[in-house]
Every structure is written in C-alpha cells, then in structure tokens.
C-alpha cells in the first residue's frame, strides 16, 4: 500500500479555451495543492495576469486508509484564495448543469466528480475522481428516492455520501436558494416487526392478558427507539453557538428523518492530530478553549453532552486557529432548566452507562459494576473528557489509567486515585516537555473526585488561558476563528413533518459498523437486527469492553425493525456508546519537539460556513403528537 501522500484519489484537468491540450495533475490523499498563475503559464506558455499567484487551494483528506471503503470517497475540497471569484459548474441530480459564484469569502466547497472551476473566461479546472471513488447511493430504498424528489424544491440531496452506518447514511445536500452545501443525515423510522407481532398472536401459551402485555411492550420499545432517534435534533434545535454544530432543518416523514446540518470541511480532531502531530501548547490551548466554550454553553443551558472525544470534535479548517465545532448529540441529556441546574450544580445525576472508553470519567465506569442510585454522575463527566482531549493534543498519548481496576466496585476514592494514576504527568517521558500550566489544567479536569473537578467556567479561568502574557492573544484568536459565524435568527419551523404517503418496497439489510469522513452516524452491533446503536472505540482493554456490553439495557431487539440499512462498512469515524468487541489502538502521532508556550502566532483563519437557519416554508403541517416519530418536545 502506498503511503498517504502517494495514494492517488483524483485528477485535476487544467484547460485553456485557446489550446487543445489538457494538463493533468494528480490529487493524493491527505495532501493539498495550489493552482495559480505559475501553473497556468507553465502549462500553456502564456501570460495569465487574470489568474492570481495562488488562485485556488485543493485539499484532500482520506483519514483512514487501512479501512478504506469506496462507498465513502475521500473528501476533496476547494477554497478560493484569490480576490477574483471563480464560477463552479456542476451537474445536478436531474442532469442539468448548475453554476454559481464562489469567492474567498465563502467556505470550502466539497468537490464531486465532474465539477468544473472556471478561474477566468479562458481557464478552467475539472475535478475527476478515480473510478473506484465515484459517488454512489446504493442501499437507499424506493421510498427514500421518492422523498428526495419531494425535498428537491428546498434541498437537493445528492448521491455524494459522507458517511454510512447500520441505520443511517449521511449525504451532501445543496440548499436550493443559495446553492450552499449542507450535510443531510438520513435516519429510517423504526416500526414494529410484523413477524414479531404474528409470533405473539400465534403463541398458544399466552393468555389474553399476557398477549396484550407483550404487544404493549413491543409498542413501548418502538416508541423508545423513536425517542432516541429524535433526541439529537431535539437537543440541537434550541442551541445557537459558534462551537456547536448548527442544525439547519429537520424534515421527517412517516418513513424517514432528514437532518440538515452545516457541512464542516476540516474533518475531525482525531484526523487533525494524526496529520499535524503533537500540538504546541499555544495551538492546543486554542482548541481546548473552544471546546470549553461549547461545554460552558451546554452546561449553562442544562445539557450534558456525555460523549466528548476527538472524533466528535470537528475542524472547520486545517489551519491553525480554525473554528472548532462539537457535534454528535445522540447521547446528550437535558438535566433541567438553566436556573435549576445552576442551583443544583453537580447534584443532578444520571445513571446510564455512556461515553467512550479512554475519555469516560471514572464515576461512569463504576456504573458498570453496580447501580449507584443516589450517586450516579453529573455534568462533570464532560470536563473529564475535555481533560483527556487536552492530554492527547499535548502528548499524543491517552491519560494513563488502568480502567479495569477503575471499575472495581469496592474501590474508594483513594484507591481509585491509584488506579487512575495522574503521577504520569510528572514521571512519563511524553509529559516532560509539557509546561506546568497545561499539566495543572489536566489535573483539574481529571480529578477522580468529581466534586473537586473544575467546572466549565472555572476551567476557562484557569491560568493556562488567562496568563497575562498571552490571554489577550488567545481571545483575539478566538474572535478571529468565529468572525464569520452568524447565529441562527430563530428556531421556528426548524422541525417539520411532511406526509409523503409512500411505502418502502425493499427489505432491509444489516450493517455491522460505521464509516464516515464528516460526522458521526449511528452504528449497529453485528448480526443484531435492531435499533440498538453501537460503535467501535479506541479502547485500551477488553475487560472494560466486556463490562460495557454486559450492562447494556433492554432485551433482544429482534422484534423491532427499520427500513432500510446499508451493507457492512469498515469504521473510520466512530460514534455512540456501546463498545464493539473489536478494538483499535489510538493512532500514532508524530511528536513536535516545540512544546514551550511562547507568544502564540496564529494566522487569521479563512471565512467559514455560515450556519444560517432555513426559510423552508411549511408543508403539510400536522399535529406532531399524532405522527411518527414523536415530537421533540416530549423528550426534553
């Protein structure tokens, strides 16, 4: 297998209208290229004063070549650098060419096979994907294709797949009015399996009361699964923050849920660190501070994310100082209104087992061994996860903790402190070049006793971020990062029901895992036809996995069905909370020898996607409470 910089994924064909010859340039995985005046003049032996020195930047990301799957093509983006805008010409799903102007003020554009960038009236660049990376949308049923047609006046959902999982697919969509790209997550609505109902009805061992109880239980479990599906957008619809992924529109039908979100073009934080290596303290501080801004906003609004990890943090750009976005709110919980939460502080507690091993607080791990009832855990679990992310950014290594021992139900806090040994911050070689302030921050976030852990507000006031020598520069960097973000102007009509009155015709299949280059999609446990979401995680031990699996709630979900699902995929961008039996070690990260915290030097980042809210007019507005899935308000 070729190295990441040798893997050719596409070609750029440079043309001039006055010449017959076509110049071809290769595009390789995880690399970037500039096309400008020099390339044009050298190719055609002409003067090209209308072309800027660096006119367009092409950037390719592949993220996980070991588990490459051609169903999700590498993400190749174009950014206009010149003051002279370009015209993007692309073919729509109806076969008609569409074009629109793209300037340096616009966000990155995800390129599709056949897209043409017209740099001037005479010069153009065509993007040609390799045949194995041609966009496909197989696995969709007839219902989804028909519903795509009904959505077209407002959003054109393309066949460019961003991610695929057990019961969801993520596609690029284009907003009809602005031609701006967004991400569309497609989730089939679950239904009770008719065969399961028939088995209950035919079971002669059941009396009428038992039969009614079994049928009622099926209905209850179906409603629970629907509730789980709506949880993410039910949470996001009221959030409006530059460091939280912007929900633009949710359209749901009797058969599917379509969630439209801003398209984040820089990949996830895990891929970013794999590419950049260990970060210097200034760059790490910029990223961690933005994550904390998001967490502070969530906690102030009574929301706990519960699954913060590098895969759920997206980058709007690969440049230093880019805006950072927290995503995947499938495990988030609302713990009460903001005033009540402020009064209760860390008192309000939850008991379910959530999170990703390696980023999960010890009080959550202890849930695996016993029901803590009055203990449980609080929103402090998010702060633990932030500390773990900071450790990875600063050292390339996970925080050293013996997680099987951390789950011992008989350990008190003193013993748990030994199982989760933070002395590595002083003894491990990979921490020796890290300064005192970031070490102190990690200790404050990773306190075993959650009552001693920093709150989000306290963490933002930590000396790592507030030192008088660079606090102003950190704040200036933050303001540059979010300069082009615009808040949604309202939440009205964000969630809409459309009665499509179409039925699916294809049988569903079972997918084993998740593959996504953009944002997380729910995945399923292998060979388990249900809506019980699962994931692969970067897990250091199998003992912890066994405990996670043993404590998942609910019985077999074979009586639940959904339609349809995609074929099995490898996992490159994992989500959710159930640990898969297969593990991958954290990616190796090349270390950067420069770790001292001098004056940050962070260039002004480019403009980013503007997550404006949709002006989609009402369609068949109907009482949400009487239609599937249940309305988000019922899940607060």
**Second-level CATH architecture of 142-262+488-586+612-635:** 2-Layer Sandwich (3.30)
Q: Between 123 and 626, where is the model more confident?
A: 123
| CA–CA gap between residue 303 and residue 341 (Å, rounded) | 9
| Residue 150: exposure state from Cβ atoms within 10 A (0-12, 13-18, ≥19) | middle
Evaluate if residue 225 carries a pLDDT over 70. yes
Instruction: List the one residue out of 357, 441, 431, 360 whose CA is nearest residue 394.
Output: 431
Q: What is the pLDDT of residue 567?
A: 38
Out of 174-178, 346-350, 403-407, pick the least confident: 346-350
Q: Give Dmax over CA atoms of the chain in angstroms.
A: 88
Q: Where in the chain is the domain with CATH 1.10.510.10?
A: 269-481
| CA–CA gap between residue 605 and residue 317 (Å, rounded) | 8
Q: Where in the chain is the domain with CATH 3.30.200.20?
A: 142-262+488-586+612-635
Q: How confident is the model at residue 395 (pLDDT cuts 50, 70, 90)?
A: very high
Evaluate if residue 574 carries a pLDDT over 90. no
CA-CA-CA-CA torsion sign (600, 604, 608, 610): positive
The domain 8-133 having CATH identifier 2.130.10.10: the answer here is no
User: Can you tell me whether residue 613 is helix, strand or coil?
Assistant: coil
Q: What is the pLDDT of residue 345?
A: 41
Six-digit token string for 293: 């801004």
Task: Check: CB of residue 470 under 8 Å from CB of residue 438.
Answer: no
Please state the rounded mean pLDDT for residues 567-581: 34
Instruction: List the one residue out of 318, 481, 313 whose CA is nearest residue 388.
Output: 313
As a whole number, the mean pLDDT across the chain is 72
Q: How many Cα atoms occupy the beta-carbon half-sphere of 364 within 13 Å? A: 24
Cα 547 off chain centre by: 26
**pLDDT per position as a tens digit, 333-387:** 887 543 444 444 443 334 343 444 455 545 554 544 444 344 445 788 899 999 9
Q: Where in the chain is the domain with CATH 2.60.200.20?
A: 8-133
Q: What is the pLDDT of residue 350?
A: 40
In Å, what is the CA distance from 372 to each residue of 30, 121, 363, 377, 419? 46, 69, 9, 9, 19
Q: What is the pLDDT of residue 448?
A: 82
Helix, strand, coil content of the chain in percent (nearest 5): 30, 20, 50
| CA–CA gap between residue 219 and residue 22 (Å, rounded) | 62
Q: Specify which residues 155 forms β-bridges with.
A: 175
**pLDDT per position as a tens digit, 271-298:** 888 888 899 999 999 999 999 999 999 9
pLDDT above 90 covers a percentage of the chain that reads: 29
Inter-axis angle of helices 281-300 and 380-395, nearest 10: 170
- The H or E element spanning position 365 is helix 362-365
Is 138 annotated in the active site?
A: no
**pLDDT per position as a tens digit, 531-547:** 222 233 333 333 333 33
CATH class (in words) of the domain with range 269-481: mainly alpha
In Å, what is the CA distance from 52 to each residue of 38, 113, 117, 258? 9, 25, 14, 40
185 labeled part of a ligand binding site: yes
User: Can you tell me whether residue 2 is helix, strand or coil?
Assistant: coil
Q: Which of 112, 268, 274, 307 is catalytic?
A: 307
- The H or E element spanning position 343 is helix 338-344
């Amino acid at each position: 297998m070729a190295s990441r910089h040798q893997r050719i994924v596409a070609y750029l064909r440079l043309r001039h209208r006055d010449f017959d010859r076509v110049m071809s340039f290769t595009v390789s995985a995880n690399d970037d290229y500039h096309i400008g005046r020099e390339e044009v003049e050298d190719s055609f032996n002409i003067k090209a004063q209308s072309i800027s020195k660096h006119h367009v930047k092409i950037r390719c990301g592949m993220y996980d070549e070991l588990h490459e799957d051609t169903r999700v093509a590498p993400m190749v983006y174009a950014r206009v650098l010149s003051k002279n805008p370009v015209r993007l010409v692309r073919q729509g799903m109806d076969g008609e060419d569409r074009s629109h102007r793209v300037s340096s003020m616009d966000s990155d554009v995800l390129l599709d096979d056949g897209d043409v960038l017209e740099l001037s009236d005479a010069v153009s660049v065509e993007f040609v994907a390799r045949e194995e990376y041609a966009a496909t949308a197989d696995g969709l049923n007839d219902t989804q294709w028909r519903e795509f047609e009904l959505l077209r006046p407002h959003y054109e959902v393309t066949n460019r797949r961003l991610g695929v999982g057990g019961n969801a697919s993520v596609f690029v969509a284009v907003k009809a009015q602005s031609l701006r790209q967004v991400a569309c997550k497609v989730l089939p609505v679950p239904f009770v399996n008719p065969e399961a109902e028939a088995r209950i009805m035919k079971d002669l061992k059941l009396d009428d009361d038992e039969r009614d109880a079994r049928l009622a239980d099926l209905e209850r479990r179906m409603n629970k699964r629907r509730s789980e599906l709506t949880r993410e957008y039910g949470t996001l619809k009221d959030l409006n923050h530059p460091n939280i992924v912007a929900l633009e529109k949710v359209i749901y039908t009797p058969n599917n849920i379509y969630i439209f979100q801003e398209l984040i073009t820089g990949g996830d934080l895990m891929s970013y660190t794999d590419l950049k290596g260990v970060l210097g303290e200034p760059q790490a501080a910029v990223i961690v501070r933005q994550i904390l801004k998001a967490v502070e906003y969530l906690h102030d609004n009574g929301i706990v994310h519960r699954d913060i990890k590098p895969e759920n943090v997206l980058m709007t750009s690969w440049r230093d100082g880019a805006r950072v976005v927290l995503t995947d709110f499938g495990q988030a919980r609302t713990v009460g209104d903001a005033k009540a939460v402020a009064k209760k502080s860390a008192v309000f507690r939850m008991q379910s087992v959530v999170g990703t091993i390696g980023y999960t607080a010890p009080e959550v791990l202890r849930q695996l061994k016993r029901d803590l009832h009055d203990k449980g855990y609080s929103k402090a679990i998010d702060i633990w996860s932030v500390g773990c992310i900071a450790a990875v950014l600063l050292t390339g290594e996970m925080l050293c903790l013996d997680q099987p021992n951390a789950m011992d139900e008989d350990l008190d806090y003193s013993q748990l402190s030994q199982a989760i040994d933070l002395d590595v911050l002083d003894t491990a070689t990979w921490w020796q070049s890290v300064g005192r302030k970031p070490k102190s921050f990690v200790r404050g976030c990773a306190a075993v006793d959650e009552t001693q852990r920093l709150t989000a507000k306290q963490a933002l006031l930590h000396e790592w971020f507030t030192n008088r020598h660079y606090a102003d520069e950190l704040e200036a960097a933050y303001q540059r990062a979010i300069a082009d973000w615009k808040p949604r102007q309202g939440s009205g009509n964000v969630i809409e029901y459309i009665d499509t009155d179409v039925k699916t015709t294809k049988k569903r299949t079972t997918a084993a895992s998740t593959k996504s280059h953009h944002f997380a999609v729910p995945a399923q446990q292998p060979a388990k036809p249900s809506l019980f979401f699962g994931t692969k995680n970067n897990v250091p031990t199998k003992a912890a996995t066994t405990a996670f699996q043993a404590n998942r709630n609910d019985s077999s979900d074979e009586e639940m069905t959904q339609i349809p699902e995609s074929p099995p995929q490898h996992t490159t961008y994992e989500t959710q909370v159930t640990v898969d039996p297969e593990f991958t070690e954290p990616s190796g990260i090349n270390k950067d020898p420069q770790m001292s915290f001098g004056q940050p030097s962070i260039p002004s980042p480019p403009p980013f996607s503007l997550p404006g809210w949709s002006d989609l007019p009402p369609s068949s507005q109907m009482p949400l409470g009487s239609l599937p899935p249940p309305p988000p308000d019922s899940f607060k």
